[in-house]
Structure 1
Amino acid sequence: MRFISAALILLAATAASAQNGPQNSHQDAKPLPYMDPALTTQQRVDDLVSRMTLEEKVSQTINSAPAISRLNVPEYDYWSEGLHGIARSGYATMFPQAIGMAATWDAPLLQQIGDVISIEARAKFNEAIRHNIHSIYYGLTIWSPNINIFRDPRWGRGQETYGEDPFLTGRLGVAFVKGIQGPDPNYFRAIATPKHFAVHSGPESTRHSANIEPTPHDLHDTYLPAFRATITEAHADSIMCAYNAVEGSPACASKLLLQDTLRRDWGFKGFVTSDCGAIDDFYATDYPSHHTSPDKEAAAAAGIKAGTDSNCGQTYLTLGSAVKKGLVTEAEIDTALKHLFTARFQLGLFDPAAKVAFNAIPFSEVNSPAHQALALKAAEESIVLLKNDAHTLPFKPSVRTIAVIGPSAATLNNLEGNYNAIPLHPVLPLDGILTQFKSSKVLYAQGSSFADGVAIAVPRTVFHLDMTSPEQGLKAEYFATDSFDGTPVATRIDKQIDFDWNSASPIPGAPAEAFAVRWSGTIAMQAPGAYDFQLLLTHCYPCNDHERFDVYLDGKSVGDFAAANNEYRPIGKFTLNLPDTARHALRVEYRHKAHLFGAGITLAWVPKPGALLPEAVAAAKKADVVVAFLGLSPELEGEEMPIHIEGFAGGDRTDIKLPAAQQQMLEAVAATGKPLVVVLLNGSALAVNWANDHAAAILEAWYPGQAGGTAIAETLAGKNNPAGRLPVTFYSSIDQIPAFDDYSMANRTYRYSKAKPLFEFGYGLSYTTFTYSNIKLSTQTLHAGDPLTVEADVRNTGRVAGDEVAELYLTPPHTAVSPQRALSAFTRVHLAPGELRHVTFTLDPRTLSQVDEKGARAVTPGNYTLSVSGTQPTSQTPAIPFTINGIQPLPH
């Protein structure tokens, strides 16, 4: 069953018209020009802006643009998130995190995902409009994709990107943007916003003040190509400028980026939005910032004059004062307003509802069966098989007892990543295995936290329904108000307390804006002692919630907490002193009452180092095989986070090793001698050197989305044959990469690094084998500026069906700045056993071109080679030579 977010009902002050746009006050009057669909969009926008006062114009330059009643202009908020599913607005289909989508190496799939995200965005928008809701997260301007280059594995937000390669990022970004914006020649289904423009990829701790000066070569060879592709090929109608400065100017005030590159060179016609608070960084003195403007008015003027049309924040509200001071003209504000309103007109927001076909998209499209199936397909395709000694995977019928061990086996946020949709029926890895392997015995032990001192969801193994029941979990009673009066609307068994209900109803009959849940049962530990617990509220800033949490042990209160307004993530801490290993009565009560956003709770604990090892080792000893779920967590890596522990700082990492707590656990279970399969859930590369030496098999599953547990279990069983490829290099240590704050691409990524990595970019195994033959070029001698066609035959030479990713790499003539090789084409194909597929690639002049030290791009003469195989070329991969004659300069 799918639930309509009750937040939509909550804000409905009156019964709303289904009309999508503004209407004339007098129905019989001739429509004003801006309301006349017969006129061009430009004519309508010009007319509307000309009718606004300066004060009204200024009000429209921030993301939360208010209504202009006298002009019948409705309120609109430009801020909506859709990185891997429509986020923060109730339930929606949740796909793998972006880095996982990149691991599919499947551009058509990315376009399908973009389609689904914008269809669900329209469905939610249509429902919101029916209830007169114009809130943040319910609009049609989607601030995705993140196409920054994941140049360093330590960057916490790298999980949001499509990896380290500009070509792969560009191809996937183009596909995603096309999906988001839709196929209609007259209206956008939604508007995509590639971000963060530009040269933005950590560190998080310095992003508000860092000035980055890339070499001209790196700027045009690495940092800009994917942005260029999404603008010039996919025609993204919006773009977000970054926090950092580039060559001495904040990105949101950069003439180089916003005028010379974006509008002049690339012909961009859409609107530019700032990252949130980025305009504040021009002048702020209470934290490290750029200090390029003396005050708010000057900062607002700088942003507008450079070409940042919309301010996520409030600083642009000083533009009226800036006009009076002569810092900016009203005509310059008009330019920004015209960009912004052009987008709203092209979304159909000022046209009769019946004229825009997208208005007919029903709410039932949200998380529809077809969309759920696509989420599973994406999760399956994202999985990368890194090691498989002696064909350990898929499991043989002789595997009768499986030990599932590790911190990411049963934690919700390891499916979600960040900027995530809210999954309705998420499948945790443990539950996927329990479902897939029904004839096997499955033993579970959490084994460790993600890192010592870090809270993790309390595992189901410590909960039981009562003092004698063998069933794990807690009795959950759900109430339709924020109190426990009356009868619950539903009662069920919850295996653990780990839920994300952001703007969503937790269960049918319990409205999203106000409900209560009581969990009751018992808790028992493996050893007596004092245990530190936390109650965590789901990320939802700004929340404005009134949350209450109460905890009782053996009938006595041990915790009573209230969440303050606008806390980023309220945390209630308490300690349970358990004198023995017997079961003790536990009751947890949660009351939620929100204006619009929030809801969700995790009962977490901070286990003492090594405390969970005995249970994990005991489970391993009883098993035929151990599946260790390891990796990272969105609580460790992410955007500007308040975490500072060994290996992690502010959302970034200071090392790429597996955290010590998990490494200790891994070695302890491996010491049992049982076959060991490692499954990684994470958003960035890990140096799992010990695991590579000692585990029989390794799967990389990323943050896999709502169907992640099912996809992983199907892969272990052989129902899914993994074919994902790494979109990033897995280095063996940070000794192989330059300093984190060094933005030079020298010695970075597969294109420029001389080091031998643990697992290379483009790497991935399969349960079957493939061979390549008959590689042919359209010509051995190419005139600069002409395309090159490459053909090859791919055959499945194994016994099972599977996907293969054919990767074409180009090696150009060596120069001081040329890459060692560069991905230049790829395609994912499905082949039955013995099946042969003929694949064809066409390399256009831009793909064949090189960037010199001065940043100039051209197809240049010389001797080239290329290779086509399932990975980067090795000494056994045939190198196909060809020559380019002449030179063909190309525009930036």
Structure 2
Amino acid sequence: MADDDVQPTQPDAAALRAERARSLLAELALPEKIALLHQHAPAVERLGLRAFHTGAEALHGVAWLGAATVFPQPVGLAATWSSELLTRVGEAVGVEVRAKHAEDPSVSLNVWAPVVNPLRHPRWGRNEEGFSEDPHLTAELATAYARGLRGDHPVYWRTVPTLKHFLAYNNETDRALTSSRLRPRVLHEYELPAYRGPVEAGAVGAVMPSYNLVNGRPNHVARELLDELRSWTPASLLVVSDAAAPGNLVTFERFYPDHVAGHAAMLRAGVDSFTDNDADAQPTIDRITAALERGLLTEADIDRAVRRHLELRLATGELDPGLDPYAGIGPQDIDLPEHRALAREAVARSVVLLANDGVLPLGAGQRVAVVGPHADRVLHDWYSGTPPYTVGIATALAARLPGAVTMAEGADRVALRSTTTGGYLRPDADGTLLADGPDARAAAQIDITAWGDGVVTLRSAQTGALWSAAGWVVRADAERVGGWVVQESFRLHRHDDATWSILHLGSGRWLRVQHGHGQVAADAASLSGAERFTLRTVRSGLAQVAEAARAADVVVVAVGNDPHLLGRETEDRPHLRLPHEQAELWRAARDANPRAVLAVVSSYPYVLGDVADQAAAVVWSSHGGQELGPGMVDVLVGDREPCGRLAQAWPADESHVGDLLDYDVIEAGATYWYAEHPALYAFGHGLSYTDVEYTGLRLDGADVGPDAVVRAQVTVANRGARPVDELVQLYGASPGHRLQVPRRRLVAHARVPLAPGETRSVELEAPVARLATWDVTRSQMVVEPGLHELHAGPSSAVQPLRAELRVGGPPVPPRAAVGRPLRLADYDEQHSTTLAERTREAGDVVQPAPGARSGWVLLRSVDAQGSDSLRITLARTGPGEARARVEVRGAEDAAGLARGHDGAWQVAGTAEAPTDGGRYDWWDVPVAAGPGWESLVGKVVDVRVVLTGPVRAGELTAVGASPTP
């Protein structure tokens, strides 16, 4: 191309937005700017700014805004392992958000999705919202979904996605109070990659911090973490608070003395938008104004946040309606035929065939019984939208196999008679329950569905409506379980005289029959005031299931959870076991018919125990939305080959998953990276209806540098008679590493379609950087030189192919200690300590764990040559003896690197924390030399710091006349 043919460079869209935002900012008065910092920002009509608020829920479809297409839960979408599919789903959801916005301009184009918290622990109540336990797979899928939401226009965004929830948030138990202990290795190797991928890709425009604390500091004031996040992109990122989190800093966490100080700290840390007090912005305005008056903020702090707010709005085309490429989307673009087809495809591709002895796929001419609580239910979670229709498994299967399908939910059908009135409970015309039924016939019959741990839902057999107690009056008027506080769940209590009372779980009140008219209300404060009922079983659910199973050629037992019960936002799962009642229902079906398929519809993995051993086949789907039934049936009957693969392992035993609150995946042996026990169904596991053999693995180079991308050729052969869409997975391992590193971790994956009898090779690109660990000596990710391995196979547990990979480069040096403070938070091992905040705003330190009198941290490979003394920074957390003891032992090999242990620990010295000062008053204290001092001088050593009493320790420094260069 000739020089005069070179096209002028297009101006950078982000830079233009920033320039326009600065111009708008200059036109705003200070009160106007402050008002824009609340979630509900008022209009500034003279500048063309409409009223605006952050946040529309779009986790797997548009939520809370009326009818919209509902796709599978994210944990289900992840089982497709398909970035291409997730981008298409994101596009459909983004279109429907725009359609809702066109109908109602108050609908925000800043969507609060996707959730990228890695699924570290399967007991997390919000497990359904995340993608995978692998942070890199999470990043890949989240980036794809966010790209779909965002759109591909170079200037204007269809919607502006928001990453949730930053950071280290996997527990609902005391979620606004618990502190996640993240040493630097866990932070940089496991937690941050899930967020970094979408941010670096430019697929998101906002981030939401999580409620919890990390290392003692609330995430909403974690300036260092937010600075790290923003360092990944030159573009603007709006940081929006989670709901009510600004107030939590004072009311629950007690981290700041008042709301003015807390709000000021949030803005200084980099939070730009306050989601607090619902639509009432005045408290936020008053607190930020007071912070300015008290000198806790400057107007520059306000301007920085407002500029980011304006840049986000400019990205949506708000001020350029004539140029917005998405302005033509309207209400007619909801529930499009192509969205329905995509929803069905997403379900089918997410179904995972976990086990199969040949009973699947179902054949033509077979009689099939579909039984269990999910036989024909389609349930929704808190962030689900309202589907325009739903189709359950039994209905979809009956359409595919006309006349060959029977259905039985397996709920006990009962009638309850009041001992006060002598009448049976029945709903009147508006659903109100009255205790005046003359008999136990249809109007008085109730179906009891048990969800585990004593939690039940009660449904009128005549009307199909669930009992609910949204007020104090109990009515059979609910279509489904739902709401922030569930009103449709109950617990039954059996008295010694065989009568029963009913507790409404939402209110904590017992049901009582009111005098005079027999109306039932949830208003008894204690069991002693509760009504007693006699319970007549009209039909046994287990007997109904057994009867249906016996009459069928195959029985499909559909079990799982209700996403609003026993595991959801605000409530972690009580355990991982299949509910006892569902396990018994399974046994009743399987005893009647050994050709029994266990179909699990759930938001999370289960520990299945002997149920898995008994099943002729096991299949799993997340709650799939409106097309759950057709999508799953497509796989059950073989119209679609099963291609879903687990993005989260199913443990074999509850004890294998560790403590819900232990975020150090290395120490805890958590996730497939570090698990010490084999899973029942491993990460990446999933079967097909054919046999695939892995026959060859070849690398394009076995000696590479740490920045290389290795191309691996994996040869696979379809040995069966059906086509297959095989997911070829490549994992990295570093068995000779000096550190505790993942046993294996995903480095690449690819789909390869294979016809019956076909053999093909698939090329995968594996970045060597995926083998990196965090180097605490230089605060960077490094791939240590030496021998590594790549393994190929159909899952993380089955990898028949192996190739060696030698990585060159300099070794990690010892920690230089002389004149360079060693952060004790950079430990290699610890015992009975925790990480805490150095100050309210920055830094991490160590201290004995809650309830522990003492604890220690170990730093390996410390080069103390040239030192003649030690100093340690200490602070107190209370009165009493508070000291630190420094111990050393030799730890160098011929190359001067820490490879082993040489001798016993020797005391290098001790230090006592000064008696005055508080938690944030730090003292640089000399370490009085002990008998082991000579062991420290002139060697590479391991250093152990033992903390005793109410003491906090920050850095250890070796002092010498000639610091090591």
Scaled to the shorter chain, the TM-score interval is 0.7 to 0.9
CA positional deviation for 1:576: 9.3
1:707 aligns with 2:627: yes
Residue 628 (structure 1) aligned with residue 557 (structure 2):
yes
Match of 1:242 in 2: 210
CA distance in 1, matches of 2:522, 2:157: 43
* TM-score, normalised relative to structure 1: 0.76
Partner amino acid for 2:370? V
Residue 452 of structure 2 aligns to a residue whose secondary structure is coil
Matching residue of 1:108? 84
Q: Which residue of 2 aligns with 1:655?
A: 575
**Partner of residue 182, structure 1:** 151
Which of 153, 173, 194 is the equivalent residue of 2:122?
A: 153
Please, which of 795, 801, 817 is the counterpart of residue 871 of structure 1? 795
Of residues 671, 681, 699, the one that matches 1:759 is: 681
- 1:840 to 1:463, Cα distance in 2 relative to 1, 3 A: same
Distance change >3 Å, CA 39–CA 631, structure 1 → 2: closer
Instruction: Pick from 229, 247, 263 the counterpart of residue 300 of structure 1.
Output: 263
Alignment of 1:835-850 (within 5 A): 835-850=758-773
Deviation at 1:42, TM superposition (A): 2.6
What is the CA distance between 1:652 and its match in structure 2? 0.8
**Is the contact between residue 155 and residue 652 of structure 1 (CA under 8 Å) also seen in structure 2?**
yes
Q: Which amino acid aligns with 1:191?
A: V
Moved more, 839-848 or 274-283: 839-848
- Partner residue of 2:400 out of 420, 436, 441: 436
RMSD: 3.1
CA distance in 2, matches of 1:438, 1:655: 39
Distance in structure 2 (CA, Å) of the matches to 1:667 and 1:393 = 20
* Cα distance in structure 2, aligned partners of 1:841 and 1:38: 33
* Whole-angstrom distance in 2 between the partners of 1:697 and 1:93: 30
Give the structure 1 partner of residue 131 of structure 2: 162
Rounded Cα–Cα distance in structure 1 between residues aligned with 2:737 and 2:346: 38
* Residues 45-95 of structure 1, C-alpha deviations (whole Å, 9 max, x = no match): 122222222222121111111223444421111111111111111111111
Q: Provide the residue aligned with 1:427 in structure 2.
A: 391
Aligned-pair CA distance for 1:441: 3.6
Alpha-carbon distance in 1 for matches of 2:244, 2:345: 37
Per mean C-alpha deviation after superposition, the further-off stretch among 359-368 and 679-688 is 359-368
The CA deviation at 1:626 is 1.7
- 8 Å Cα contact 2:499-2:532 kept in structure 1: no
Shift of residue 167, structure 1, vs aligned partner: 1.5
Q: What fraction of aligned residue pairs are identical, expressed as a percent?
A: 30
Alignment of 1:416-815 (within 5 A): 416-447=380-411, 448-451=449-452, 453-456=454-457, 458=459, 462-463=461-462, 498=479, 612-641=541-570, 651-746=571-666, 747-812=669-734, 813-815=736-738
- What is the Cα deviation at residue 536 of structure 1? 10
* CA distance 1:266–1:745, change in 2 (3 Å): farther
Partners of 2:238 and 2:700 in 1: CA distance: 41
Give the corresponding residue for 2:98.
Answer: 122
Q: Secondary structure at the residue paired with 1:40?
A: helix
C-alpha spacing 1:60/1:536, structure 2 compared with 1 (3 Å): same
Q: 1:262 maps to which residue?
A: 229
CA distance in structure 1 between the aligned counterparts of 2:771 and 2:659, rounded to whole angstroms: 31
Alignment of 1:281-430 (within 5 A): 281-284=248-251, 289-314=252-277, 316-317=284-285, 318-351=287-320, 353-389=321-357, 391-399=358-366, 401-413=367-379, 416-430=380-394
How many residue pairs get aligned? The number is 717
Residues 238-288 of structure 1: CA deviation (Å, up to 9, x unaligned)? 1111111112221111111112x112355452211111111111111xxxx
Q: 2: CA distance between counterparts of 1:272 and 1:196?
A: 11
2:165 paired residue number: 196
Please tell me the residue identity of whatever aligns with 1:714. D
User: SS of the counterpart of 1:629?
Assistant: strand
SS in structure 1 opposite 2:646? coil
1:211 corresponding residue in structure 2: 179
State the 1:403 CA deviation.
Answer: 2.2
- Range moving further from structure 2, 300-309 or 769-778: 769-778
How much has 1:785 moved relative to structure 2? 1.7
- Whether 1:40 and 2:6 are equivalent positions in the alignment is no
**Deviation at residue 234 of structure 1 after TM alignment:** 3.6
Cα distance in 1 for residues equivalent to 2:505 and 2:518: 12
Instruction: Determine if contact 2:381/2:564 at 8 Å carries over to the other structure.
Output: no
State the alpha-carbon separation in 1 of the partners of residues 477 and 595 from structure 2. Answer: 29
Cα pair 2:185 2:773 within 8 Å, conserved:
no
Query: Structure 1 pair 666/118, CA: closer, same or farther in 2 (3 Å)?
Result: same
Instruction: Indicate the SS of the match to 1:771.
Output: strand
For the Cα contact (< 8 Å) 2:656–2:677, is it kept in 1?
yes
Alignment deviations for residues 661-683 of structure 1 (CA, whole Å, 9 cap, x no partner)? 11222222222244211110111
Change (3 A) 1:107 1:38: closer
The residue type paired with residue 790 of structure 1 is A
Residues 268 and 857 of structure 1, relative CA distance in 2, 3 Å threshold: farther
Per-residue CA deviation, residues 716-754 of structure 1 (Å, 9 max, x unaligned), is 211122121111111122211221111110311111011
- Structure number with higher strand proportion: 2
Aligned 8 A contact 2:59 2:112 in 1 = yes
**Matched residue of 2:585: which SS?**
helix
- Structure 2 distance, partners of 1:562, 1:756, is 47
2:176 aligned partner, one-letter code: H
- Provide the secondary structure at the position in 2 that maps to 1:112: helix
Distance in 2 of aligned mates of 1:580 and 1:805: 49
Superposition deviation, residue 638 in structure 1: 4.3
Match of 2:785 among 848, 854, 861: 861
Per the alignment, residue 200 of structure 2 pairs with 232
Equivalent position of 1:74 in the other structure: 50
Distance 1:441 1:73, change over 3 A: closer
Secondary structure at 2:791's aligned position in 1? strand
Task: Flag the 1:393–1:653 CA change in 2: closer, same or farther, 3 A.
Answer: same
Counterpart secondary structure, 1:350: coil
Superposition deviation, residue 884 in structure 1: 1.0
Partner Cα distance (1:168, 1:39) in 2 = 31
Partner of 1:605: none
Aligned pairs for 1:12-23 (under 5 A) are none
Tell me which residue corresponds to 1:56: 32
Structure of larger gyration radius: 2
Matching residue of 2:909: none
Separation of aligned partners in 1, 2:256 and 2:300 = 21
Instruction: Provide the C-alpha distance between the structure 2 equivalents of 1:457 and 1:372, rounded to a whole number of angstroms.
Output: 31
TM-score (norm 2): 0.70
Deviation at 1:688, TM superposition (A): 0.7
Q: Would the aligned equivalents of 1:685 and 1:730 in 2 still touch at CA under 8 Å? A: yes
How far off its partner does 1:341 sit?
Answer: 0.6
Check whether the contact 1:422–1:501 (CA below 8 A) recurs between aligned residues: no
* Match in the other structure for 2:66: 90
For structure 1, the 5+ residue unaligned runs are 1-36, 465-472, 475-494, 503-527, 538-550, 564-572, 582-609, 642-650
> For the structure 1 residues 501 and 240, does the alpha-carbon distance in structure 2 shift closer, same or farther, using more than 3 Å as the test?
closer
Q: Deviations over 1:533-588 (max 9, x none)?
A: 98999xxxxxxxxxxxxx9xxxx98758899xxxxxxxxx999988795xxxxxxx
Compute the displacement of 1:398 (Å): 4.9
**Cα offset for 1:636?**
2.1
Q: Which amino acid aligns with 1:819?
A: P
| Distance change in 2, residues 1:578/1:691 (3 Å) | closer
Three-state SS of the structure 2 residue aligned to 1:205 is coil
Distance 2:328 2:719 in 1: 48
